[in-house]
Structure formats: C-alpha cells, structure tokens
Chains A and B, each alone.
Chain A
Amino acid sequence: MSIYLPIAEISVNIFVILGLGVGVGMLSGIFGVGGGFLMTPLLFFLGIPAPVAVGTEANQIVASSVSGVLAHWRRGNVDVKMGIFLLIGGLIGSTAGVYLFAWLRTLGQIDLVIKLSYVVFLGIIGTLMMIESIKAMFQSRSGAVLTASKRNQHNWLHGLPFKVRFRRSKLYISALLPIGVGIVVGVLSAIMGVGGGFVMVPAMIYLLGMPTSVVVGTSLFQIIFVTANATFFQAYLNQTVDIALAILLLVGGVVGAQIGTRMGSKLRGEQLRGLLAAMVLLVCGKLLFDLLIEPEDIYSIGLIGGH
C-alpha cells in the first residue's frame, strides 16, 4: 500500500515506513538515543530528499522522546535540573548550527561534512564505549568489584567555577560543563539532523560522570526540546517537515519505543553499552566505506531552489 508524501513529493510504501519506525523506536527506548543517526540515512536510501529527511526526522524524534521520557520519569530517572542546563546549551548550539549548516550548503560541501562528522564522532564514541564495556564485562565476570568510573576522579574539569549541586545525579560540578556539552551536541544535531543522544549519552557518562540510571531519561528529556526547536526552524525556514511522513514514522516509533524501554530495563548496563557501541561502530564503518570506495556514478545532480 502506497502513500504520496506531500512535502517529500514522492510515493512510499506505508508498511516499510511503519517498520522503520518500530525498529528505530525500539533502539530509542533501549538506549535513550533518538535513533536519528540511523533513521536519517535509512530515509535517504528510500529516496526521501535529504533536507526533508533531516527536518521530518527531528519532528519524529520529538514524539518518540516524549513517549520514552515518561517511562523514565515514573521511575525517577530524569534529572530535570541537569536537563535544563543541558537544554540551555542545546538551544544555543542548535541555533548556531543552523547558520553553520546554511553556510556549508553554499559551499556545496554539506553532504561531505555531514558524513565526515558521523564517521569521526561515531568512531570515537563507539571505540570508547566498546573498550569500556568489554573491560566492565571482564571485571564483573572475574568477580572483581567495579571500582569504576571516573565519577570520583578529580581533574581540571572540577576546578571550573559556577558550581551547582545536582541531587538526582549526585554530582557537584560547574554549570559550564552541562551547558558546554549541550552546545556541542546542539551544533551536531543541527548539522547531522539527529537528536544527538548518541553523543549526549556518552558525554554524560564519561564527561559529566552521571550515573547510568539517570542518563537515558535526562537525555530524552533534553532531546524533546532541542528537536522541537529544530522542527520549528526547519518548517519555518525551509518547509522541509513532512507531517504525513512524520506521523507514519512516529506511529511506528512510539510503539517501538515502548517495547524498547521495557527491554532496556531488563538488560544489564555493560551489555547495553556494548550493544550500542557495536551498532555505532557498524554505522560508522558503513559511512567510512562509502566515502572511500569509488561511487557508482561520480556525477550527481541536484535542483536549485527546490529541495
């Protein structure tokens, strides 16, 4: 069964889109990532024009994050105070990112910058997480107590001013840290067309030292507002948000997210991290491979003025 998408201006199979939504929604629920870093490239493969895929995906992530955050909220896994500091940075960063995006577009290199950013960030994060989770798995298997983490280590980051107490996260750190993380993730989410959870979650764990239990909920909480901001600007400036496509994706997405959240609470922390790391590295490898091999046609065409 097919449906003609009014903004994307192509016809797609409804069940393919619904299936995509469920699959990516499950990941969103399990890992607390918006899933945009998987969905956006998948939408390209379906022939959805890239700007429409990016704009619509932001809209879809709003829904899956709202649905996902409520489950975490009830379990008390959302650090609202931390979320608000992250959000301040996120709004600054995503607005700056929109302008950066427009500038790169005039240079004709936006595609390359998007893909290279994916490769670099996914590569670094995936590798770090993989190492960490393998270590953790070995330690827990040999019976050693995980003394872990950088939570109690002190470095120059703890010397920064404007210290704020975050009760939920049991942290006493500079407000500049979450704001800084928010800005970086905001810029990335505007350029890469994602919620930014796949950068946010590791940054919260490794940089801020937040307990894993509140990371996913807080990340989802923050993503809702950053992607809502992105949706508005994409619709307002570029008219690239396809409501019909977004509704199909979010019907699948919210169902998937519910299943995913339930699965996530049954899995163990290090397994969860290992699984996410594997997935991140997989996407990274595929993108790098595509950049390195000779494309089927070294010429490509694009419309001027249109999408």
Chain B
Amino acid sequence: MLMYRFLLALTLMLFLPLSARAESLVADLSEHMVAITTGFTGTELLLFGAVDGDGDIVVVTHGPTEEVVVRKKDRVAGIWMNTQAVTFEHVPSFYQIAETEGAVNAMALSMKRRHKVGVRHLRMDYQETPLEDYQIRPFREALIRNKQRMELYSEEPGLIERRGKNLFRTEVFFPTNIPTGTYIIETLLVKDGEVVSAQTTPLFINKLGLGARIFRFANVYPASYGIAAILIAVLAGLFANWIFRKLS
C-alpha cells in the first residue's frame, strides 16, 4: 500500500510540470487505484475536468504494453491450422478513447499520430519475420480486431459530455479481463485541429485481498502451492464421500 502511494506521488511529480504549463486544462479521475478483488466484475471510472474557454476534448487511455503473437490459420489437407505468425512488441494491452462530438475527426493527422489517437495510430513494432511489409497489415488489423472483441480496445470513441461552458466528464470502462499494471490516461484539449494542451493522469490497477494472496503464493512458492492444491482436492473428495455416507 505504502509502495503504491509512493509510486503515485513519484508519477504525479513527474507529470506535474507538464500539466502546470497547460493551465487551460485540468482533469482528474474519480479513483487513481483500482483493486481487483475476488468480487471484481469490471469497473467504471469517472474522468472529469474543466477547460478554460472553448475547444474539443479527447481522452485516451493506454494500458501497460505487452508482447502479442498473431497467428494466421490456413487450410492444410482440409484442416485449419496455424501457418504464419507475427509477433508485435510494445502493444498496449488496453486502449480506449473518448471525445466530445467530432473532436477526433477534426484533429490533424500529425496530431493523431503523435498522441496515438485512434487504433490506426498505435505504435506496434513487429519482430523480424520473412513476411513483407504489406503482408504484415492484415496481422496488425487482426490484432486490433481481436482486442476489440475482448472489449480491451474501443471500437467507437466514447462520448465526453460537457456541463456548462467549462466542465466535462466521461466514463472509462475497465472490463473483468483487464491486465494489471500502470495505465496512462491522457486528456487533450484540441483547438483548430491542434492539441493546445494535454494532461496525463496515471492509474494503477492491482490485485488485492485473498485473490492477490493466492496469486502471490502460487508464484513465490509454486511447489508448496502445488502440494496444497492436491491436499485440498484429496480432502474435499474424502469429505464429500463422508457426507454422502452419513446422508444415505
């Protein structure tokens, strides 16, 4: 707990100078830490803030990056089997985007690229492969499509509501299968297609409670965990049998 607070403070310090420069935009999250406990069924966080004057707002949420292998199946002797594979690096495990109506379309292409607005502008490097560049494209698209099916990438930008002249709010949904780690939520203020101000808010997603303890035990003492699992199973079997004999 203390460790997380410390990390939080550190990250905030790192990002504060950036937001201090951008005085016309202030944004914050309803929570900076999401605990995945045994009862976790996904969560919705509220991102809210205020802008000075007009302009469009875009909110981009990036999860921790991961390495993903995309496999393609072909028909071989009547059976569908994996034939080609491309491994992508630095792929965000989670990516959601929200906008005030029409904000993304109004952005200049260079701005979209720099701030990774839209799945097409995500940076995904691929490891060496015998495939040509143009052959990689369907693999990249497949990665995005699969992530969208898992609800980890947004298909359509969510809507940011404006309240009055200055306030805005939006909800970011995190489904049950989200990876743990540090998330970065970037709030952009867009005027005439250019990003005039940006603020970055970190979010920590961690496992807590009994589930987290089981997870750590399994990873730190795998042999004891294995033996414990077997013992539990044997006892459960004996116990069930005993109960049924008493009942009948």
Contact = CB atoms under 8 A, between A and B. Distances in A.
A66 interface: yes
A6 interface: yes
B147 A10 contact: no
Nearest to A234: B226
B11 interface: no
A267 interface: no
B177 A9 contact: yes
Given A65-B237, A295-B80, A239 B222 contact: yes
A55 to B, nearest CB: 9
The size class of the interface chain A forms with chain B is 35 or more
Nearest to B220: A239
Given A299-B145, A301-B142, A304-B69, A7 B230 contact: no
A4 B229 contact: no
Contacts of B130: none
A231 B215 CA distance: 16
A251 interface: yes
A61 B25 CA distance: 57
B36 A4 contact: yes
A33 to B, nearest CB: 16
A39 to B, nearest CB: 14
B142 A112 contact: no
Contacts of B68: 301-304
Question: How many of chain B's residues touch chain A, expressed as a range?
Answer: 35 or more
Given A66-B238, A251-B236, A258-B241, A231 B229 contact: yes
Grouping DSSP codes into helix (H, G, I), strand (E, B) and loop, the A interface class, with mixed when no group exceeds half, is: helix
A234 B85 CA distance: 26
B222 A7 contact: no
The dominant DSSP class at the B interface is helix
B218 A235 contact: yes
Nearest to A4: B40
Contact of B233 (A70, A237, A250, A301): A250
Contacts of B66: 303-304, 306
Nearest to B146: A301
Given A71-B241, A254-B236, A300 B229 contact: no
A299 to B, nearest CB: 3
Contact of A112 (B41, B82, B238): B82
A246 B222 contact: no
A199 interface: no
Contacts of B131: none
B146 A300 contact: yes
A236 B220 CA distance: 10
B174 to A, nearest CB: 12
Q: Which of B138, B139, B234 has the most CB of A within 10 A?
A: B234
5 contacts: A112-B79, A235-B223, A247-B232, A301-B143, A304-B68
The 3 closest A-B pairs by CB, nearest first: A66-B237, A299-B142, A235-B226
Given A244-B214, A300-B146, 5 more contacts: A6-B38, A228-B230, A241-B229, A299-B143, A304-B67
